[in-house]
Structure 1
Amino acid sequence: MLHKNEVNLSTADLDQSNGGITKKLKMYSKDKKTNEDKLELSDDFVNNEFRDTFRKIFCNESVEGTEEIYVYHDDKKRKYTVRNNEDNKSIENENQLKLGSVVGSPFKVGVLHDVFDKSFLCELKEELGNLEWRHRSNDLYDFYQTDDLTVTCGEHVKNVQKLYGYLSSDDFISFMETISNTKLVRNRLDLAAQQYKHGGYLLCHDDSITGEKLRRKIAYILYLVEEDWNESDGGCLGLFSKDENNQPISVVKKLVPNFNTLAFFVTGKSSYHEVQEVLRKDGINRWSVTGWFYENVENTEELLKNEFPSEFTSIYDIIPKSHPLQSISLGFDTLPDEIKDGSDLLGYFINKDYLDGTSQQRILDNFLENSSIELKKFLKDNIYKELVKQLCSSENFASVWKKYPVLPPIVRKYYLIDENKYPTRDSKKGTDVADAVLKFFKSTEFSNYLTSITNLDFVKSSQEVRMFNKGCYTLIHDKVIEPEGLDVVFSFMGLKDSTDGSESKGETQWNSEKWDGGTHYIFEEDELLTIEPDHNTLSLVFRTEETKRFVKMVKSDSQFPRCEINMVFIEQ
């Protein structure tokens, strides 16, 4: 998939989930009599038996677990053994060294262990630390990255050049071809370094990019994390299962980064993965050097055609269906009695400060000038409190929202309201405020109010009630095009920790600086507008088809979810 804002970095961040380094293998050659600075694979790796064993496992579709390849030397003889890491059997020989691993499912991931001498990697990391790092942040990711390391030169980056020279050499590319059973081009390798700080991440994607003559074939990563890095530090590689349409479903395997391992996989339909949010808070970042090997391609058009099902958006109901506007008083038996009696409908729901003529003219002038406006404290206070109680309180939360997020994660991850389960009519009060608010927002009466403050005339609208918890987001996708219209989004939220089953007291204001979760509007590469989550706020934004929007991923530091009623009103 070609993501509009994807940068040139490897998104393969992978490693073994079952522990750290067993023993050190020296792969950094320092033969002072010949070539003092030459990098090369040790004989254990280039041995035909290792290469053949690794390839057979890597290309065996029946392998689902993780297979590990060990070597030990006895009387000058080299012996290789294969072990499933899920077996509880102890290692037969304590002198065995783990050379390689292959993760079988949901797609093959190869890992070479203890690839280089530690002193070389320390020098490499020091050089990288002295380079310029750029903050990369959009809908898909948030991390720091160097410029293209393939063109970096000078004495101050001699180890960077050494690494690039070796990885792009015919010897190493031939080795990669052998163990992965692929055919790779020479003289083309991408190389860059990344740091993921606390809160950094890279969301679901597949690394597959195809050009006119070349396409990414193998994504690789060299881990430079601290040797004590573990799963609780975050930054794991999440591997996604996929459905019958070859689209990702959820993470079914997590691989923890380990220092001095080189990991790789073949890109394509099955390689959906993410770098999970880094949780470590001691100032130690998740370091890596990443890139891709390439292959020649023919019939590029056919490759791109088969990447997504033609009915992609309709299969997953990605764009909510629009429906004709309807009067709120017709056929809604759960409405408050006051509304049925014909009393002032707008005055029942909306803060009176937004209803007089002078205020509406002020709103209209502002909207015409900026094509957007935010109306704080939009609903009357009693209505808003009851809405939050019904949809966000701890006693109702689990039953109100669906258990699983919407699919697919290459486009979105958030939770929808379960319209069959949220609180029904209160027999004592005779009112279901949540139901009434939702019906009001898609009524002709509310549409007419919008017309008075925007000068736009609407005939239909869509509505989606959604909740963004930790790790939730939406992404821009070249196959998903929202219809042009007026985005009308009502933002609301409850108390912090409202999903843990307790009536927790504390902060109730959204901290956008630490938690993200804002809605961003962009045109091509320019950011036009950001709307931050807030209590009881109605935002209006007129959006053309060329303008895209996304919700930035909600960070793990967030103390409570944010919710919204997301609507698009469409003109004739």
Structure 2
Amino acid sequence: MHLIFRCSCAGDLELDCHPFPHCIIRNFLDSETFVENLQTELLGLNFNEKSNDLYKFKQSDDLKKRKEPHITGLRAALFGRFRSWLGEVLGVELEPTVDISCARYEYTDVLLCHDDELEGRRVAFILYLVPPWQISDGGTLDLYSIDSNFQPQSIVKSLIPSLNTLVLFEVSPVSFHQVSEVLTEDKCRLSLSGWFHGPSLERPPRHIEAPVSRSPHLPRDETVLLEWVNPVYLDISYQEQIQEEFEDSSEIQLKDFLKEEKFREVSEALRVAQIQWTKKGPPNKRCYDVASLDTLPQCVGECWELLRSESFFLLLSNFTGLQLHYLCPADDEDEDKEEDEDVPESGEATGSSTESRSPSTPVCCGELRRWSHGGYTLLHDAEAAQAEYALDLVLPFSSAEWQSEFGGYTCYVANEEDEELLTVYPENNSLALVYRDKETLKFVKHVNHRSSSDSGNSSTCRALYDFSFVYYE
């Protein structure tokens, strides 16, 4: 099938090197009839739901062997004449590899910040086959600037999808971009996308983030537990039941953990107090608000100290059987097993972050986080390289009823595997404890547009707050 590209018309082509080299070719295909028939063929494909830390959308199977006439014609043209022209423009010999698929983005679908880098990818392309589209519909292709560490910093350009428009950009260590969340409920963002392959660009040294500081417990006695914790969890026999259940599954959720009046007091303070919040990034790793500890109101600060107190370390030891306090009875058999199999040499799993302290000194690190529309965390290589044995704690406080369909829940996955091992949904005043090993990673799922008010008025968005701590033996 013969196709005519209209990219020679100056009014149809836009080149820009900011924030990284990209090109927009409008009215890419000469025949409107061809475009309509191509849309029809693509919408008739089988689509698979794709969902992980980075994205949520529907994708077709690989299109390199499909026999539909318009898909076949476009594929032949893109990876034939057009690829030759592109290689000449770039001065790069592009390989004959065919890499193309179709994506459908619908309400709340998103592809978060990433750089597209994978061995052999040289130029990315997207051909939009969408109905009339406005910026209020979401689904824009957002391009990020970078900071001095070659990390994504902020969105500096947003491209609105437009029918029969082809976007190309050079894949590089700094080609950070995202597909913003689709906000319209009655349109489908349909596109063909893929990569032209060739020699990869040279990568600068990867930026390594400073390790999160860890601290031993605060010297607080059991008075703080008596003041804050539901008395049922201070009963020794009940703690033994909890430990048995935890040792069976390595996770547990303790409902109504704080005394009701304390939980209400902290919830109200989080909602109305003048706490200073800072956006935490970079966006290819995380996006949420973290509280400045010196701006916490008294009751919130006291709750923070509870989770860092010596008596709470001991309570966690009783809940889990982990050695988080010297008074926790040691299990000789478990100790022998850990010595032989589990416990790495000092610094083996986490580099220099463990070398400055004794491996026998229990420590923790924590944050008070605020989650709202657009918040998430992503898996990344550095996290996998530094993974170690740890006890995760999350204690949520939501300002309104929070539903699982909003996102904001924590997923645990095996390293380099897509299948989720465990999902922990935020539940008011429910203390979640999860013990993970060196092969287990976690992320917080993107908080989507449904977290806004039911009326669609984004000015009254719901928010979720949580204390997030990690404890190390």
* TM-score, length of structure 1 as denominator length: 0.71
Q: What is the root-mean-square deviation of aligned Cα atoms in Å? A: 1.7
CA contact (8 A) 2:60 2:103 kept: yes
In the alignment, what sits opposite 1:568? 470
Deviation at 1:195, TM superposition (A): 0.3
In the alignment, what sits opposite 1:41? 5
- Superposed CA offset, 1:499-529 (max 9, x none): xxxxxxxxx221112x111100011232111
Aligned counterpart for 1:451 among listed residues 317, 337, 346: 317
CA contact (8 A) 1:184 1:293 kept: no
Aligned counterpart for 2:206 among listed residues 277, 298, 308: 308
In the alignment, what sits opposite 2:364? 461
What is the distance in 1 between the residues matched to 2:270 and 2:220?
21
Larger CA Rg, structure 1 vs 2: 1
In the alignment, what sits opposite 1:74? none
Shift of the 136–184 alpha-carbon distance from structure 1 to 2, 3 Å rule, reads farther
Question: What SS does structure 1 have at the residue aligned with 2:34?
Answer: helix
What is the distance in 2 between the residues matched to 1:261 and 1:254?
14
Deviation at 1:270, TM superposition (A): 2.3
Deviation at 1:277, TM superposition (A): 0.1
Deviation at 1:412, TM superposition (A): 0.4
What is the distance in 1 between the residues matched to 2:299 and 2:212?
23
Aligned counterpart for 1:148 among listed residues 35, 39, 62: 62
In the alignment, what sits opposite 1:344? 223
1:508-519 pair list within 5 angstroms: 508-513=400-405, 515-519=406-410
What is the distance in 2 between the residues matched to 1:550 and 1:540?
15
CA contact (8 A) 1:135 1:142 kept: yes
Q: One-letter code of the match for 2:238?
A: S
Q: Does 2:302 align with 1:400?
A: no
In the alignment, what sits opposite 2:437? 544
Question: What SS does structure 2 have at the residue aligned with 1:106?
Answer: coil
Comparing 438-447 with 559-568, which one deviates more in the overlay? 559-568
Q: Does 2:215 align with 1:323?
A: yes
Aligned counterpart for 1:113 among listed residues 20, 26, 29: 26
Structure 1 residue runs of 5 or longer lacking an equivalent are 1-36, 51-68, 70-97, 330-342, 424-431, 495-507
What is the distance in 2 between the residues matched to 1:187 and 1:479?
33
- Superposed CA offset, 1:180-231 (max 9, x none): x241323113100000010000000011112xxxx211100100010x2110
1:208-287 pair list within 5 angstroms: 208-210=117-119, 215-226=120-131, 228-282=132-186, 284-287=187-190
In the alignment, what sits opposite 2:79? 168
In the alignment, what sits opposite 1:414? 288
Q: One-letter code of the match for 1:536?
A: N
- Superposed CA offset, 1:327-357 (max 9, x none): 126xxxxxxxxxxxxx733121101122212
Question: What SS does structure 2 have at the residue aligned with 1:382?
Answer: helix
In the alignment, what sits opposite 1:391? 270
* TM-score, length of structure 2 as denominator length: 0.86
CA contact (8 A) 2:387 2:439 kept: no
Q: Does 2:382 align with 1:486?
A: no
What is the distance in 1 between the residues matched to 2:419 and 2:388?
20
What is the distance in 1 between the residues matched to 2:269 and 2:292?
13
- Superposed CA offset, 1:151-204 (max 9, x none): 223xxx1111111111111x211221244x241323113100000010000000
In the alignment, what sits opposite 2:236? 357
In the alignment, what sits opposite 1:197? 106
Shift of the 350–182 alpha-carbon distance from structure 1 to 2, 3 Å rule, reads farther
What is the distance in 1 between the residues matched to 2:296 and 2:74?
58
Question: What SS does structure 2 have at the residue aligned with 1:296?
Answer: coil
Shift of the 464–182 alpha-carbon distance from structure 1 to 2, 3 Å rule, reads farther
Deviation at 1:539, TM superposition (A): 0.4
What is the distance in 2 between the residues matched to 1:145 and 1:401?
41
Shift of the 220–237 alpha-carbon distance from structure 1 to 2, 3 Å rule, reads same
Q: One-letter code of the match for 2:170?
A: V
What is the distance in 2 between the residues matched to 1:174 and 1:307?
32
Q: One-letter code of the match for 1:542?
A: Y
CA contact (8 A) 2:387 2:440 kept: no
